[in-house]
Structure 1
Amino acid sequence: MKSIMVIGGTSGIGLALARHYVQRGDRIAICGRDLQRLPADVHDLVGVASYQLDIADRAALSQAIDDFAVQGLDMLIVTAGIYYNTRSHLLDEAATLHMLRTNVSGLSHAFELATEKMLLQKSGQLVAISSVAGLLHDYPGASVYSATKRNVLSLCDTYRIALKPFAIAVTAIVPGYIDTEKLRALNEGNASHKLFIMSEQKAVALIVEAIAARRDRLVFPWQMKWLIALLNLLPRWVLKLRK
């Protein structure tokens, strides 16, 4: 039985991963800004603790990790993230700061605090959900979201190198479009038109397999991986037209 904390676990991929590990018999902590979003049956599951917090709140995050890690912390999974469609929503100061605090500094705090516990054990695994948007090279007009997701990948690479001597693995999950409730909500209830969209069930199966293998990075679906590689070969002025 492993002790696993999922930050951003009240819905979507985070919740699906939490359910998987609960069914496997692991001890789980689900963290999120609004625990009322959790389905009623989750509260009744044996081995599940819950913490209402914002990943951007370092003090609350530290308290939750200290509390849960009393019995050890084998894995931290961070799925929390903020996305704004800048094609239809102009980022103001508050929205920009919110995205940076959640996608960048929040993840950094979570990794740092979890690492303190795992170094004492000389074991553990950090997992972060990035996006194929983070694989796009920087170009004029690139979105803040893409930049934050590149930062996630960079942070994972840095921690992986630093923690390898201490038997702590770091896995970066880099998905394309996944047919989650959130994605459907962003697309008026139907995201089937999204390129190479994958079911939540299949995505979770791939993620769980990569985590178990302690892979450095998982990019999926493969079609999106190659499309991004092709886009990165295009001249910067062509990519600027995508804005």
Structure 2
Amino acid sequence: MRVLIIGGTSGIGLALALHYLQQGDEVAVCGRDLARLPAGLMEQHPRLQAFPLDISDRPALAQLVDQFAVPRLDLVVVAAGFYFNTRQHVLDAATTQRMLQTNISGLAHAFELAAAKMLAQQSGQLVAVSSIAGLLKDYPGASLYSATKRNVLGICESYRIALQPFGIAVTAIVPGYVDTEKLRVLNHGDASHKPFVQSEAQAVAHIAQAIQRREAVRVFPWQMRWLVGLLNRLPRRLLALRR
């Protein structure tokens, strides 16, 4: 299988790349900074390719998809995402633009380009990593990040309906807190206090299983899904207070 992981140089994306490499698949990872890859990784895995890429750069993304999709493209995972803590900092124009370009338009371009290749071969699977924040209903003062992650789910649903008749699956991954390096940095080096936090290994097990089963949506852990469902039942004025 030929697997392209956009946002695969660290975190969940990299862990998922290692999973598919261990299965013997041909894997390409890309990200804005290839220096984030572990030292010696390329030498350890001859089936691994790495490309510098900013998902917001559509021409570069198109070139990468054209290059890797020969002779075919079986699986594309978009794990790239940009988070900004609007509870502690004020969004400026540049940061707002970056979040929109990474979380929404970049994903849309990746799906568009990959779908064209998969339609030509009448097979394949598209996967996008959203967030449990994307399941929260809109409310006064809700974060832009949550709004972009809701949009990820909408993009997945649209492509799933469009591509299903052609044998192409689309899977939305909706994780809660995962104990990645990025999450630890955002929490002063320790994310263990986060509710129902999962390890990278647990997250990869969920994601790989959802992909194998060609599921439409996989939300994990179940406790976070239950918690968000409870929050969505609260009056909007109370949700606004949670900021």
TM-score greater than 0.5 by the shorter chain: yes
1:208 aligns with 2:208: yes
Q: Write the deviation string for residues 153-179 of structure 1: whole angstroms up to 9, x where unpaired.
A: 000000000000000000000000000
Instruction: Please provide the CA RMSD for this pair.
Output: 0.6
Q: Write the deviation string for residues 53-81 of structure 1: whole angstroms up to 9, x where unpaired.
A: 10000000000010000121000000000
Distance in 1 (alpha carbons) for counterparts of 2:223 and 2:70: 43
- Contact kept, 8 Å, 1:3 with 1:71, in 2: the verdict is no
TM-score using structure 2 length = 0.99
Distance apart, 1:46 and its partner CA: 1.2
> Match for residue 41 of structure 1?
40
The one-letter code sitting in structure 1 at the alignment partner of 2:15 is A
The one-letter code sitting in structure 2 at the alignment partner of 1:36 is A
Output aligned runs, 1:48-63, within 5 Å.
48-63=48-63
> Match for residue 32 of structure 1?
31
The one-letter code sitting in structure 1 at the alignment partner of 2:63 is Q
- SS state at 1:162 partner: helix
Distance in 2 (alpha carbons) for counterparts of 1:184 and 1:71: 39
Distance apart, 1:128 and its partner CA: 0.4
Distance in 2 (alpha carbons) for counterparts of 1:41 and 1:198: 27
The one-letter code sitting in structure 2 at the alignment partner of 1:130 is S
> Match for residue 225 of structure 2?
225
Distance in 2 (alpha carbons) for counterparts of 1:215 and 1:43: 31
Output aligned runs, 1:118-129, within 5 Å.
118-129=118-129
The number of residue pairs the alignment matches comes to 242
Q: Percent identity?
A: 64
> Match for residue 138 of structure 2?
138
- SS state at 1:128 partner: strand
TM-score using structure 1 length = 0.99
Structure 2 unaligned runs (5+)? none
The one-letter code sitting in structure 2 at the alignment partner of 1:14 is G
- The farther-off stretch of 199-208 and 155-164 is 199-208
Distance in 2 (alpha carbons) for counterparts of 1:63 and 1:34: 18
Distance in 1 (alpha carbons) for counterparts of 2:104 and 2:174: 15
Distance apart, 1:50 and its partner CA: 1.2
- SS state at 1:71 partner: coil
Q: Write the deviation string for residues 151-210 of structure 1: whole angstroms up to 9, x where unpaired.
A: 000000000000000000000000000000100000000000001101111111111111
> Match for residue 156 of structure 1?
156
Q: Write the deviation string for residues 210-229 of structure 1: whole angstroms up to 9, x where unpaired.
A: 11000000001000001101
Distance in 2 (alpha carbons) for counterparts of 1:205 and 1:165: 28
Distance in 2 (alpha carbons) for counterparts of 1:10 and 1:99: 19
The one-letter code sitting in structure 2 at the alignment partner of 1:38 is L
Structure 1 unaligned runs (5+)? none
Distance in 2 (alpha carbons) for counterparts of 1:43 and 1:137: 42
Distance in 2 (alpha carbons) for counterparts of 1:194 and 1:209: 24
Distance apart, 1:15 and its partner CA: 0.2
Output aligned runs, 1:1-243, within 5 Å.
2-44=1-43, 45-243=45-243
Distance in 2 (alpha carbons) for counterparts of 1:152 and 1:200: 21
Large movers: runs of 4+ above 2 Å: none
- The farther-off stretch of 85-94 and 122-131 is 85-94
- Contact kept, 8 Å, 1:8 with 1:79, in 2: the verdict is yes
- Contact kept, 8 Å, 1:171 with 1:214, in 2: the verdict is yes
Distance in 2 (alpha carbons) for counterparts of 1:225 and 1:203: 15
